[in-house]
């Protein structure tokens, strides 16, 4: 399942309208809709907020899987995850 569909399903499960979700992120509703339709990728801050609002695990959302205790992830996704980690540390410098 693609990331947009996962986000849309989680949002609908929580009975949150797209307009309300966009305001919580914050971003405009049109761009948020594009994320759910997979025509626009969320930036790191948007992805973090979406995960927080919908209580989603980023590993599951990004389909980061474990195989023989090793992460199976593409170089692109690994770089993206690293950028998310850096952003998280920037906003929460005292947490691990």
Number of domains present in the structure of the chain:
1
Q: Is 18 exposed, middle or buried (0-12, 13-18, 19+ CB in 10 A)?
A: middle
Q: What is the extent of the structural domain holding 73? A: 3-91
Considering the domain boundaries, does residue 30 fall inside one?
yes
* Ramachandran category for residue 51: left, alpha or beta (phi over 0 → left; psi -120 to 50 → alpha): alpha
Considering the domain boundaries, does residue 96 fall inside one?
no
CATH number for the domain including 10? 1.10.260.40
Considering the domain boundaries, does residue 68 fall inside one?
yes
- Pairing outcome for strands 65-67 and 70-72: antiparallel
Tell me the pLDDT tens digit for each residue of 3-50.
Answer: 999 999 999 999 999 999 999 999 999 999 999 999 999 998 999 999
pTM (predicted TM-score): 0.67
> Alpha-carbon distance 85 to 69, whole Å?
20
């Amino acid at each position: 399942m693609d990331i947009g569909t996962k986000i849309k399903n989680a949002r609908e499960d929580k009975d949150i309208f797209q307009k309300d979700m966009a305001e919580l992120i914050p971003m405009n509703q049109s761009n948020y809709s594009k994320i759910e339709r997979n025509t626009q990728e969320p930036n790191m801050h948007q992805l973090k907020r979406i995960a927080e609002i919908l209580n989603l695990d980023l590993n599951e959302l990004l389909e980061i899987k474990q195989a023989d205790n090793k992460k199976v992830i593409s170089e692109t996704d690994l770089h993206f995850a690293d950028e998310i980690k850096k952003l998280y540390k920037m906003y929460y410098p005292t947490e691990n």
